[in-house]
Structure 1
Amino acid sequence: MEKLQRSVYTLLFFFISFAGLYFAASFLIPVTLAAVFSMLFIRLSSWFESKKISRPVSSLLCTLIFLCAIGLIVFLLSWQLQGLAENMETMKQRLTTTFSNFQQWLQEQIGINKTTQKEIVKSQSEGSGGIMTGFANSIFGILVNAVLVIVYMFLFLCYRSHIKKFILKIVPGDEKTKADNVVHKAGKVAQQYLSGLGAMIGVLWIMYGIGFSVVGVESAIFFAILCGILEIIPFVGNLTGTAITILAVLAQGGDSKMIIGVIIVYGLVQFIQTYILEPLIVGEQVNINPLFTIMVIVLGETLWGVAGMILAIPLLGMVKIVCDHVPDLQPYGFLIGTAHQRSKKTGLIDKIKRTFKHHD
């Protein structure tokens, strides 16, 4: 009976927690994004402080570096968009021709005449005013959240020691050392994962840029940057970026050879990313098995949308660290983690290292 009550309480706890995360999303998303991003700059902020720079100033410098990185990406995308805008009229004509051919195909193969098609399109476009209003509200909301993330990030960096002391004060005296170790490891996991992901995205920009340029994609750098940035959304991002690139190639009048070239570039980049970049750059800092990786991404999207998909893996990695160090939660940490031990390296990089060791 006691075990049944405990199970019921556990399920109730999860239900209330997920409900709270869902209904408080507008408040929690910018706070969580800022907390995770601030973990990425803790080491840099500490380095500034070692150079006799005060913590508020070092926190401000880290925030400015973050803003400069975002600004550089926006500048590169805008610069490439200018090239796309110059060819927009030609692309519009090609899309119009493609749409007309598609209408003709619908009429011949399915039997939907062009008059019926126009009525369907008209009925769907009647709510365009509401769509534009919703789009404007979404842009405004994104800008407000972006400002909040920057402010929160600065404050998290500035008051990180105060927050850590608060966490240590709420745990029993004999558990303070363990709690300090958990906080340190959780922050290190997020830091290593995000820094590795950032480095990998930089390498992907170069590979996609070279590949798309060789294939002949117009504004290849724009689509390379887009595909690289979308990698922050696991599983979904790379497919979305490639699909957008293929659609752009069609709009640019590219033939089947160019489309096949884009697909080949995508396949090669994914192979290099999976078997070389991820083991070498990102590594196994998070150490979560694929089942829970997919589940937490789906859950993150359900609760917080795209932001939830981005935050899902680093947050679950921190949850696993906590579970591994709390005896009652260790079974859950085992369930989330991979089946093999961390010391058993089976990646391509490790096989190459072992090969060279054998030759030595």
Structure 2
Amino acid sequence: MNSKTIAYGILRAVAIIVGVLILLWFLYKIQSVLIYIAFASVISLMGRPLVSFLKRKLKFNNTVAVVCTLFITILLFLSIFTLFVPIVVEQGQLIGEIDVNSISDDLDQLNQEISDYFNIDKLSFVELVKKTDLMQFLDLKAVPNTINSFLSGFGSVLIGVFSVLFISFFLLKDSLLLENSLLVFAKKEDENKFMRAFTKIKDLLSRYFVGLLLQVFILFVLYTILLLVFDVNNAIAVALIAAIFNLIPYIGPLFGGIFVLILATTSNLGFDFPTVILPKLAYILIGYMIIQLIDNFLNQPLIFGTSVKSHPLEIFLAILIFGLLFGIGGLIVAVPSYTAIKVIAKEFLSEYKIVKTLTKDL
């Protein structure tokens, strides 16, 4: 090997490294656009069954079906948004009416009742809240500044929403748009494999996201009934938040349960702990656990088993690995990412025994 060949190899390696770094820098700079595309892709996957229904059953043309689907999507998100607006406005009005001494007395009473009932020392977290002077920490004077900051960023939010809807429209209108865009990176002889893989991934993920939407809706209804029965303040909004928490596998229901119990406790500050607060919390916790059992043994097997055609153990390990690698975000994207990897592996690595075993149901 002569010096020219060595120099050429070094220059080629340097050029590749520089090219990769430039590509990564470019992707970092356009990360907001990539996020828009990701959200639009999810909306298009969830909307595909509705578009197909409108075209097949109601004989809508493609464009009208897509517009109706996006209109329904907008109405859904607006409904969720308007659900929270009155609550935020109400809480904002109540901030100025908060009696710090009354809250301190209620917390002190609750703390003393819990201590007496369980025969333990006063809970340190209540003392910590009181010692830190929570209301001063919140600095109510900063609320207007926070609102102004929110309003100043409202324009960016509108741009993001418009971008997501615009991209979603074309992804729904032309179901092959994304595939054709990605085919530029495929070799000519591999194009058929890429198309088969993309089509299968779209079908599986479309069923998966629709299943998740159904799961959240079922949990929302059950949580709402539970919280209304026990007269928890803002039961509908709290139920929706708890249901959305379930999108995070395993730890989401835990956070949702803690959130529900905290709201149930604050809804009853000032009442007697042994006779009112504790029994109500116990009933709510039992109801919440029953709902989680329904979700774990009915909803999730149906979604994971039928939609993505994976064994529950596979799903558990995939979620665990993605969670360790990427944190909470990894937990959320674990199932769709693992599904896409399985489909691609089946098309391009089907000669390996492990791939055949894992993808035999696809």
> Is TM > 0.5 for Structure 1 vs Structure 2?
yes
Secondary structure, aligned partner of 2:345: helix
Give the corresponding residue for 2:105: 97
Could you report, residue by residue, the CA deviation over 1:260-313 in whole angstroms, capped at 9, with x for unpaired residues?
Answer: 2222122111111101121235535332432321332465557xx6xx754443
Matched residue type, 1:259? L
- The answer to whether the 8 Å contact 1:324/1:330 transfers is no
2:51 to 32, 45, 48: 45
- The answer to whether the 8 Å contact 1:81/1:222 transfers is no
How does the TM-score come out when normalised to structure 2?
A: 0.69
Change (3 A) 1:102 1:211: closer
- State the distance in 2 between where 1:221 and 1:32 align: 29
Give the corresponding residue for 2:223: 208
Give the corresponding residue for 2:172: 157
Aligned residues: 324
- State the distance in 1 between where 2:221 and 2:173 align: 35
2:75 to 68, 76, 88: 68
1:315 to 337, 340, 344: 337
Change (3 A) 1:319 1:141: farther
1:273-288 residue pairs with structure 2 within 5 A?
Answer: 273-286=295-308, 287=310, 288=314
Give the corresponding residue for 1:269: 291
Could you report, residue by residue, the CA deviation over 1:165-210 in whole angstroms, capped at 9, with x for unpaired residues?
Answer: 4445654454443322211110011101111111111111221122
How does the TM-score come out when normalised to structure 1?
A: 0.69
Give the corresponding residue for 2:33: 27
- State the distance in 1 between where 2:356 and 2:97 align: 56
Q: Report the alpha carbon displacement of residue 217 of structure 1 after superposing the two structures with TM.
A: 1.9
Give the corresponding residue for 2:316: 290
CA RMSD of aligned residues (A): 4.8
- State the structure with bigger RCO (CA 8 A, min sep 6), 1 or 2: 1
Percentage identity across aligned positions? 18
Secondary structure, aligned partner of 1:182: helix
- State the distance in 2 between where 1:89 and 1:127 align: 10
Could you report, residue by residue, the CA deviation over 1:10-45 in whole angstroms, capped at 9, with x for unpaired residues?
Answer: xx9xx9798876664322112111112101222322
- Look at both structures and tell me which one has the larger radius of gyration over its CA atoms: 2
Q: Report the alpha carbon displacement of residue 140 of structure 1 after superposing the two structures with TM.
A: 5.5
Give the corresponding residue for 1:346: none
Could you tell me which runs of 5 or more consecutive residues in structure 2 were left unpaired when the two chains were aligned: 1-16, 116-120, 270-276
Moved more, 148-157 or 86-95: 86-95
- The answer to whether the 8 Å contact 1:107/1:113 transfers is no
- State the distance in 2 between where 1:125 and 1:86 align: 15
- State the distance in 1 between where 2:171 and 2:249 align: 26
Q: Report the alpha carbon displacement of residue 92 of structure 1 after superposing the two structures with TM.
A: 6.3
- The answer to whether the 8 Å contact 1:297/1:313 transfers is no
